[in-house]
Amino acid sequence: FVSNFAEITLPITRMLKKDQVIRWEEAAIQAFEGIKDALKHAPVLAAPNYKRPFQIFSFASEYTIASVLLQKDENGDERPISFFSKALQVAELKYTIMEKQAFAL
């Protein structure tokens, strides 16, 4: 699981649309290298402890949304439980930033 996966892979995702000519250009190469690097350094997900409180954070950009579910461990360190990210569809691009952040939840 990679934090903000949709944002990192956006140049590649855009190439996969119907009737889109695939051009492996610099942005796609950087996205590919970025996801390889992110996978090499991806954090280990923690198992949820239902006796502890959860935290959720959402992020939104012009083209993507993301969120992370966290929980503090016994040392008080925040540990990721789950990541979510998505490239927005055409209609969703019209949302305000607040709507996008809420949508990420």
What is the CATH number for 36? 3.10.20.370
Domain that holds residue 27: 5-104
User: Which pLDDT does position 41 carry in this prediction?
Assistant: 82
Q: How many domains, in total, are found in the chain?
A: 1
Q: Is 93 left (phi over 0), alpha (psi -120 to 50) or beta?
A: alpha
Given a contact cutoff of 8 angstroms between Cβ atoms, the answer to whether 70 and 79 are in contact is: yes
In the prediction, which pLDDT does 1 show?
67
What secondary structure does DSSP assign to 35-99, as a single string? HHHHHHTPPPPPPP-TTS--EEEEEE-SSEEEEEEEEE-TTS-EEEEEEEEEEPPTGGGGS-HHH
Report the alpha-carbon distance of residue 35 to residue 42 in Å, rounded.
10
Distance CA 86, CA 67 (A): 9
Q: Give the contacts of 22 (CB within 8 A, at least 6 positions apart).
A: 15, 16
For residue 25, the model assigns a pLDDT of 87
Residue-wise pLDDT tens for the chain (105 aa)?
677 788 888 888 888 877 878 888 888 889 898 888 888 887 889 999 999 999 999 999 999 999 999 999 999 999 999 989 898 999 999 999 999 999 998
